[in-house]
Amino acid sequence: MTIRGDMAGGARAIASRWARAIADLPRWIWVAAAGLAALLIVIIATGGLAQAFTEPRSAGTGDEVRTGQLSVTVLDAEFTREVESEYLEAEDGDVLLVMTIAMENLTDTPIGVGTTADRIDTNLVNHDRPLLDLVGAEPTDSAMVWRADGSAGQVYLQPGVPAEVTIAWPVPEETATGDAVALDVHEAAISTGAVILSSRVATWRAADIAARISVTVSESS
């Protein structure tokens, strides 16, 4: 009992000394502390401590956009009902948004556009979060991809070899009432299995937007 009483008395004495020391602080310190607290409240209320939002870079037709993995330049775009050379025809209520894009693979391994290459799934299109993402035009079905020169087969990009690729997205017919769309080009977050960069099986996932490309779209006759 005596030991507990001594401890309680010591604690009260320490608390009393702290209270007196705080009470004896100069008035200017109290005023400064109050001002700092008020400023902090204002900053928090206005979102000053929130993560800054960075607008993506703006680009247009003919402008090159480079990410850590890919170079992308939109060359032209059009709305059309069909692409005869590819035996494509829009469903009722849809049109095809056909975009020709110059691409260059900046990695050291082959990659596919709309397909998997060498165990790398790029998710450039036909994904719920594609790296090439239309803005203001929601695709109604999977996009079709082919080489602009008409070469048959799946589209693969070899490292450092530029290629022109055509992508056709089916979109609602009302989308064609405007003459412009935008394409968000994302950086890729690359993961492999359960451990980052630890196996040959790699998946690209959309990360930050590298640029938003505003594209003027023509309408085929």
What pLDDT, on a 0 to 100 scale, did the predictor assign at position 221?
A: 58
* Dihedral angle of Cα 95, 78, 169, 119, to the nearest 10 degrees: 160
Measure the CA–CA gap between 23 and 12, rounded to whole angstroms: 16
**What pTM was computed for the model?**
0.72
Residue 213 main-chain phi, psi, to 5 deg:
-95, 120
**Contact criterion met (CB below 8 Å) for 134 and 168:** no
Q: What is the pLDDT of residues 142-163, one digit of tens each?
A: 999 999 888 888 999 999 999 9
Decide if domain 57-219 falls under CATH 2.60.40: yes
Q: Where are the domains of the chain?
A: 2-45, 57-219
- pLDDT means per 10 residues, the chain with 221 residues, are 53 65 63 66 56 72 96 96 94 96 95 88 94 93 92 92 97 88 94 58 91 89 58
What pLDDT, on a 0 to 100 scale, did the predictor assign at position 56?
A: 80
What pLDDT, on a 0 to 100 scale, did the predictor assign at position 191?
A: 83
What pLDDT, on a 0 to 100 scale, did the predictor assign at position 201?
A: 78
Q: Across the strands, what pairs with 169?
A: 97
What pLDDT, on a 0 to 100 scale, did the predictor assign at position 48?
A: 52
